[in-house]
Each structure stands twice: as C-alpha cells, then as structure tokens.
C-alpha cells in the first residue's frame, strides 16, 4: 500500500490513496468505537513522567490528564479517523504535525525519529490488541500504520537536507503543517522549526535566535511579525486604528518598524543566512468578518496600516543583504482572497483540538518550498554555464535574426558582478556569435566553450581550467537532451531548463544567497579566474615544478588585517571549505571584535604573479597563549582560497607565522586542524612544516632557533 504524499507546488494538496481492501475504513471504525479508551491508554506512556523527563518535553507539568486526553489525544484520533474515511491529505498533514506538539523539537532528525518510533510502536500495540479482537489482518494493519507515520520515522531526501527556522507566531506552525509533505514530493528533506515571537511568550530576544543558529545547523530564516498575536503593538493598532487620530496611527507604524528593523539588523549582523521576510495581509480576520460575507474584510484604516507597513517592509528588505520577500498580499490575491485563505482546514468546533490550521498555511508553504528548493539547488553554485540559442535569445543566431531577451542577460551581468563565474557553453561557431547585438559581452565570460564538442567534455575542461569541483557548476540550457546527458555523466552538476520561467526566478533569488556577495572582490572574480585559467595553460606547458613556479613570477604580501579588508575576510571565511583548518565561521562583527582584542592577531595575505593579482586569498587568526610559563601562539584559523592552492603560499605563510612568533618572544606554536568532509587539502599543512602531533587536533612547533626557517624559493615577498 503506497502511502507517500505526492504533491506539487502548483496543484492542490491531494493524494492518490486506494483502500481496495477496506482496511482503512475498518480501522477508522475501530478507532471511533474505542476513542476514549485509546486516549486513556495512550496518555499513560505518551506522558509518563520518566519519558517526559528523559526527552525534556516542555509544557507538560502545567496541564492535567483530562486536558491531554481531551485537547490532544482525542483530537489526534479524530483527525486520523477522518483521514482514513475521506483520504484528505490536509488532515493527514495536520495529524502528523500535531504529533510534534509534545516532542523534542530541537533534537536532531535521527533523535526525533527515535522518539516517534517508540510512541508509534506503542500506539500500534494498543490498536493491534483491539484489531485482533475485531479479526483484522494484523500484518496488513501494521503496514498501513507504518505507512501513515513513515515521515516521522524517516526524513530522508535525495536532493539534500534543508533546515528552516521560522520566527514569528503560530502562523508559522500552519506553514510547518504542509511544508514537509510538499518538500518530500520533490525529494527534498526539509526540517522546519519554529521560535515564537508572541505576546504570550513575552516577546523574543534576537540573542535567542542567534543561540539556536549557533547550536544547530540552520539554512534559512523566516520572519512573520504581523499576524495573529505576533506583536502586541500590531494587534492593538489593528483593533483600535478606527478610533485613533492619523498622527497616532503613523506613530504606531513607526514604532512597529523600529522594533522590526532593530531585531532584523541585530540578527543580520551575526549571520549571512538568507531571510524570508513576510509582508502583511491582515489575516487572521476577526470572527464576524470571516463568517459574514456582507462585512468588508478590513476597514479603510486597517487597509491603510497594512499598506504603510508593507511599503516600509519592502524598503527595509532592500537594505538588508540576503533578504527575500514572502508577499502575503500577492499570495492572498492568487488564492481567492482573505476569507477563503482564512478558512480552517479542520474546524476546531468539530475536532475540539488546539490547532486552528487555515488554508493560508498551505499557500505559504508553496512559496516557502520554491525558495527552499532554489536554495538547495544553488547554494553550492560558483559557475553558471550558459547556453546561447533559445536561452539568451529566441532563435538560432547562425541561421537568422534573433529576438534577444535583454532582461535575462542583465540578470546574468548582475550575477557576474556578485561573484558568479559565467561560462559560455554553446554548440556553435565562435564567428557566428554577434556580440555587438548582445547586452552580455565576450569579456563577461570567464571561459567561452563555444565549439562542436559535447557539452559534457566542455564542462570537464571548464572544471579543470577553473580548478572547481563539478558540484560548483549550474547549467542553463533549453535542450532536455543536453541536460539529460550532463546529468547522467556529471550528476553533481545542477541542470536548469532555460525555457522554464522558474529558472530565471531562482537565478534572481541567487542574488540573495550567501554564495553571491556585493563586494569589490566579487565584482573582480571573473578577471581573477580568467587569469587562473591562463595560469593552468602556462603551467601545463612546463615540466620542471620549480621552474614552472618560477616562470609565473609569483609574489605575495602578508600583514596585519586592515579595517577595509573585513568584508572580504568575512566572505572568504564563509565561502571556503577546502583549505580551512577549523571551519569556524567568523562573522563581520566577530572579526571587528577580534581585531580590537588584546592577544589576538588577524593577518591577511595577497598572492599575485605575472598575470596579475589574485586579491586577498588568505586569512590567519592567531591567539597568544601561555604554556608552562612560556609565551606561545595558537593558530586558531588558517583559511586560504582554493585558487591560491598549489603555489606553496600556505607553507610560506607558516614561515611568516614562525618569524612573528620569534618577535613575540620565541615561544612555541600550536596549529589546530579539525577534520571535516571537505577540508582534506589542508590535512598535512602542519605535519609537513615541522609540527609534531599533540592530540587528534593539535600540532606543535617548539620554536627552536637553531634551524633556519626556509622560504619557498619561488615566492617573493612584496611590501
């Protein structure tokens, strides 16, 4: 029996569910007959004090057994019964989300699966006992039961795992009801967790959000400030604005925006995680405005408040890096208006539960999924490989006049200026391309693979020339055949259909992902990588390694970090995974504080050769330490761009650190290497430079002065 939810972002949340044997209906009848008995049994182990204490379940001590049976367990059974009778997937989604209400929300997925496996099995034991008495097929019943709960027991997805933290009020719970099922339909494992910004919870300090981010992996952050009881000031303004003076309303709007902007900017100062920022639509409607069609949805003053807040929110978002908009008004407009979106999926008066899930939650979930799926596809992107005919223009340029799509070409220029590398990937003849017609120019591309070679071969050559892994490449092509060939031969490459408008929306969103940056370094990245490709060609023409290195006229600069370098340092630390000894992700604020901290030394290095400068390519963070009364240094972080690898710069920088330690008094140096799945290129850094292992992570250099510190012969220091 297939119980997997099969949904898409552009279709209603429905499922193909067949109960040909009638087992589901018989189970529904069994549950209906024994609801109260089952709820009492389930209470004993769901809320056993030892179980609650072991899993640190919150919100249990304050309530009675009758509350849990009447408001949680009985409604849970009613939802399941109704789902089995109607096959309505929306009810299944609410049922599965309700099982999270008293669960260890902040544990890992595997730990939560362990929690649910125990309770789901215990629940089945009770049902099996009743089912045996009713002569049900227990093996088939177990398959049905496990199928219903499969998403709680396994969260696997073939296209990656995304964790989203929603900050706001219970509207985000309603999004969480539907989002996991929609994500699974696209083989995306999406874990949504919620932190509440509510009147009843006493508000929310930005420090709490930053604490969650620090202690667990979070990929996306969403913020909904103006719905339900999110901000008491907003609730008060919407309830009383019809009796307020205009200047009072405007003052209230200004106060709200000050709260929101202060909160967001505090969070943004410590993380580059993309924001999904909700605008305002006015939901939920007050009871009578929801029920009576004759009443307008909102008063004129309420509409004024919403319009003013939305204007200010859009302006605020435009000034915050990596901030995407969840346009609530547009979503409501596409889905039948406020009343239709505000209708409850499962009426509280019927199910008598704590949930009040509205259809609006599902409409929001579709938008969330679009953003999350784009992030999952593009978060590793460094190079965009662009087809030409019927991608940048309509038609075949070699055969005819073509109709250009300048907006697509302008977007690609924006992405290039934000650090994306553009690679021309066209089966064509170079002299057939009429560059003078195009918004994009030849020099905008780091490489031009315009030939009759297979695109797979051209991609392999591009990866080698740019020294990038294939999982850094995104192909944008109109040919389904070409995309299929690339996906088969190079499965790490992301392939996007240029004829699908969703592709261009996702590329627009890429401007708000952390792998694009609005820095001078990002704007110069195309030139830097073009020079890198030229180096590869120059190096391939020589045989003797020292001679090959000497032919490049390599030079470097090394010195204390300057304030104007902080943005680039932050970008390098955030983006670098391969040559990063500890992968500590220091933020801009962290670096500014470290720069002023006594006993901490921030260094940067620049590498260049006869082709030009590679820019700021390395960051080293040193901390002074005392060991046995002698001064010493800990190499806290050693981060180097992958484009600087292979030139010996890392070894020369260790020589510089050794010389610096002598200036401080000649103490020893400890280099720290914390292994990850991606930083093996720096695994031998310390051992090959005279450092001896101390433990699993630390390597020591004793600072003896009797040996000359040998420089890398082909690297010359510039002041």
Q: What is the pLDDT of residues 640-655, one digit of tens each?
A: 987 787 788 999 999 9
Residue 628, pLDDT score: 57
pLDDT class of 11 with cuts at 50, 70, 90: very low
Dump the DSSP string for 255-312: HHHHHHHHHHHHHHTT--PPEEEE----PSPPHHHHH-TTS-SS-HHHHHHHHHHHHH
pLDDT at 639 over 50: yes
- Residues 705 and 702: their CA atoms lie apart, in Å, by 9
Query: Is 145 in contact with 124 (CB distance < 8 Å)?
Result: yes
Mean pLDDT, residues 530-541 taken together = 58
Residue 508, pLDDT score: 97
Q: 620 has which bridge partners?
A: 603, 638
Residue 202, pLDDT score: 44
Query: Is 493 in contact with 512 (CB distance < 8 Å)?
Result: no
Q: How many CB atoms lie within 10 A of CB 124?
A: 18
Residue 5, pLDDT score: 32
Residue 144, pLDDT score: 93
The average confidence (pLDDT) of the chain is 87
pLDDT class of 681 with cuts at 50, 70, 90: confident
- Residues 48 and 125: their CA atoms lie apart, in Å, by 17
Residue 201, pLDDT score: 43
Give residue-wise pLDDT tens across range 247-261.
999 999 998 998 898
pLDDT at 233 over 60: yes
Evaluated on CA atoms 497, 503, 504, 509, the torsion sign reads: negative
CA distances, 287 to each of 44, 298, 325, 339, 344 (Å): 37, 12, 28, 11, 12
- Residues 594 and 604: their CA atoms lie apart, in Å, by 14
- Which residue carries 């030394």 as its tokens? 601
Residue 410, pLDDT score: 97
pLDDT at 225 over 80: yes
What is the token pair recorded at 621? 């963070």
Higher pLDDT, 319 or 277: 277
Q: Which of 85, 116, 71, 83 is nearest to 22 (CA)?
A: 85
Q: 111 has which bridge partners?
A: none
What is the token pair recorded at 207? 């420090």
Evaluated on CA atoms 424, 430, 435, 437, the torsion sign reads: negative
Residue 217, pLDDT score: 85
- Which residue carries 């009871």 as its tokens? 287
Residue 423, pLDDT score: 96
Residue 539, pLDDT score: 54
Q: Which H helix or E strand runs over 621?
A: strand 612-627
pLDDT at 669 over 80: yes
Give residue-wise pLDDT tens across range 152-177.
887 554 456 899 999 988 899 899 99
Query: Considering the domain 157-379 in this protein, what is its CATH number?
Result: 3.40.50.1110
pLDDT at 18 over 70: no
Dump the DSSP string for 24-45: HHHHHHHHHHTHHHHHHHHHHH
Residue 692, pLDDT score: 92
Query: Is 422 in contact with 387 (CB distance < 8 Å)?
Result: no
Higher pLDDT, 612 or 706: 612
| Domain definitions of the chain by residue range | 1-154, 157-379, 380-520, 542-717
Ranking 212-226, 308-322, 401-415 by mean pLDDT, the lowest is 212-226
pTM for the model: 0.75
- Between strands 421-427 and 189-196, the pairing is unpaired
Higher pLDDT, 267 or 77: 77
| CA atoms in the 13 A half-sphere facing the CB of 113 | 11
- The SS3 assignment for 91 reads helix
Q: Which of 448, 450, 383 is nearest to 642 (CA)?
A: 383
Strand (E) positions, 296-377?
Answer: 323-326
What is the token pair recorded at 443? 């020099």
Mean pLDDT, residues 594-618 taken together = 91
Higher pLDDT, 541 or 305: 305
pLDDT class of 138 with cuts at 50, 70, 90: very high
- For residue 284, whether the previous peptide bond is cis, meaning omega lies within 30 degrees of 0, is yes
Binning the chain into helix, strand and coil, the percentages to the nearest 5 are 50, 15, 35
pLDDT at 276 over 50: yes
- Residues 572 and 591: their CA atoms lie apart, in Å, by 12
Mean pLDDT, residues 566-575 taken together = 90
Residue 282, pLDDT score: 92
Higher pLDDT, 10 or 493: 493
Architecture of domain 380-520: 3-Layer(aba) Sandwich (3.40)
Contacts of 407 (CB under 8 A, 6+ apart): none
DSSP state of 363: H
Query: Is 564 in contact with 571 (CB distance < 8 Å)?
Result: no
Q: Give the percent of the chain with pLDDT over 90.
A: 58
The answer to whether the 157-379 and 380-520 domains have the same CATH topology is yes
Give residue-wise pLDDT tens across range 391-410.
999 998 887 899 999 999 99
Alpha helices for 551-599 (secondary structure H): 566-575, 588-595
Q: Which of 422, 450, 423, 446 is nearest to 434 (CA)?
A: 450
- Which residue carries 């509409």 as its tokens? 303
Q: Which residues of 378-413 are buried (b: 16+ CB within 10 A; e: fewer)?
A: bbbbbbbbbbbbbbbbeeebeeeebebbeebbebbe
What is the token pair recorded at 159? 């296209």
- Residues 298 and 285: their CA atoms lie apart, in Å, by 8
Residue 641, pLDDT score: 87
Query: Is 569 in contact with 591 (CB distance < 8 Å)?
Result: yes
Superfamily of domain 542-717: Gcn5-related N-acetyltransferase (GNAT) (3.40.630.30)
Mean pLDDT, residues 13-40 taken together = 83
Higher pLDDT, 454 or 277: 277
Residue 452, pLDDT score: 82
pLDDT at 444 over 90: yes
- Residues 281 and 338: their CA atoms lie apart, in Å, by 8
- Residues 481 and 485: their CA atoms lie apart, in Å, by 6
pLDDT at 231 over 50: yes
Q: How many CB atoms lie within 10 A of CB 543?
A: 7
């Amino acid at each position: 029996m297939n119980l997997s939810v099969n949904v898409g972002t552009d279709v209603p949340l429905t499922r193909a569910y067949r109960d040909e044997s009638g087992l589901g209906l018989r189970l529904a009848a069994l549950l209906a007959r024994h609801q109260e008995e089952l709820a009492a049994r389930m209470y004993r182990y769901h809320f056993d004090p030892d179980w609650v204490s072991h899993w640190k379940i919150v919100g249990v001590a304050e309530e009675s057994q009758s509350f849990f049976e009447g408001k949680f367990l009985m409604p849970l059974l009613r939802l399941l019964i109704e789902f089995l009778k109607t096959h309505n997937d929306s009810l299944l989604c609410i049922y599965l989300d309700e099982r999270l209400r008293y669960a260890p929300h902040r544990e890992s997925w595997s730990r939560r699966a362990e929690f649910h496996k125990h309770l789901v099995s215990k629940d089945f034991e009770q049902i099996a006992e009743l089912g045996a008495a009713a002569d049900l097929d227990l093996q088939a019943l177990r398959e049905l039961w496990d199928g219903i709960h499969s998403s709680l027991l396994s969260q696997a997805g073939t296209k990656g795992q995304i964790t989203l933290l929603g900050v706001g009020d219970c509207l985000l719970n309603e999004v969480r009801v539907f989002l996991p099922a929609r994500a699974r339909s696209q083989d995306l494992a999406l874990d949504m967790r919620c932190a509440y910004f509510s009147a009843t919870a006493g508000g929310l300090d930005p420090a709490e959000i930053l604490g969650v981010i620090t202690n667990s992996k979070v990929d996306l952050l969403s913020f909904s400030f103006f719905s339900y009881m999110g901000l008491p000031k907003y609730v008060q303004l919407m309830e009383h604005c019809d009796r307020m003076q205009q200047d009072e309303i405007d003052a209230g709007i200004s106060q709200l925006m000050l709260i929101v902007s202060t909160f967001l900017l505090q969070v943004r100062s410590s993380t580059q995680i993309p924001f999904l920022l909700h605008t305002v639509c006015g939901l939920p409607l007050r009871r009578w405005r929801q029920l009576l069609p004759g009443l307008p949805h909102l008063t004129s003053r309420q509409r004024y408040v919403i319009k003013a807040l939305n204007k200010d929110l859009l302006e605020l978002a435009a000034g915050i890096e990596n901030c995407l908009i969840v346009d609530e008004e547009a979503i409501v407009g596409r889905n039948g208006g406020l009343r239709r979106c505000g209708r409850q999926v499962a009426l509280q008066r019927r199910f008598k539960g704590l949930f009040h899930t509205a259809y609006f939650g599902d409409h929001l979930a579709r938008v969330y999924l679009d953003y999350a799926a784009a992030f999952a596809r593009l978060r590793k992107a460094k190079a965009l490989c662009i087809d030409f005919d019927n991608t940048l223009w309509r038609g075949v340029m070699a055969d005819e006049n073509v109709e250009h799509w300048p907006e697509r070409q302008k977007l690609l220029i924006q992405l290039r200026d934000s650090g994306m590398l553009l690679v021309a990937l066209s089966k064509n003849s170079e002299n057939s391309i009429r560059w003078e017609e195009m918004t994009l120019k030849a020099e905008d591309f780091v490489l031009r693979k315009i030939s009759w070679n297979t695109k797979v071969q051209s991609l392999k050559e591009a990866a080698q020339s740019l020294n990038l892994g294939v999982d850094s490449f995104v192909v944008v092509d109109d040919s389904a055949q070409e995309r299929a060939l690339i996906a088969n031969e190079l499965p790490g490459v992301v392939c996007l259909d240029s004829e699908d408008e969703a592709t261009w929306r996702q590329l627009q969103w890429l401007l708000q992902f952390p792998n694009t940056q609005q820095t001078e370094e990002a704007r110069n990245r195309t030139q830097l990588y073009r020079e890198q490709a030229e180096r590869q060609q120059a190096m391939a023409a020589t045989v003797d390694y020292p001679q090959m290195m000497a032919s490049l006229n390599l030079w470097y600069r090394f010195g204390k970090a300057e304030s104007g370098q902080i943005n680039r340092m932050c970008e390098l630390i955030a983006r670098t995974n391969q040559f990063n000894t500890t992968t500590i992700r220091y933020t801009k604020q962290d670096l500014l504080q470290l720069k002023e901290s006594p006993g901490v030394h921030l260094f940067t290095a620049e590498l260049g050769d006869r082709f030009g400068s590679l820019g700021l390519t390395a960051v080293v963070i040193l901390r002074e330490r005392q060991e046995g009364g002698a001064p010493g240094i800990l190499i806290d972080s050693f981060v180097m761009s992958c484009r600087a690898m292979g030139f010996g710069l890392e070894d020369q920088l260790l020589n510089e650190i050794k010389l610096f330690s002598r200036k401080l008094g000649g103490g020893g140096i400890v280099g720290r290497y914390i292994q990850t799945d991606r930083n093996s290129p720096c695994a031998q850094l310390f051992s090959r430079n005279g450092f001896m292992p101390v433990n699993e992570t630390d390597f020591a250099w004793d600072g003896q002065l009797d040996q000359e510190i040998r420089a890398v012969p082909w690297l010359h220091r510039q002041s």
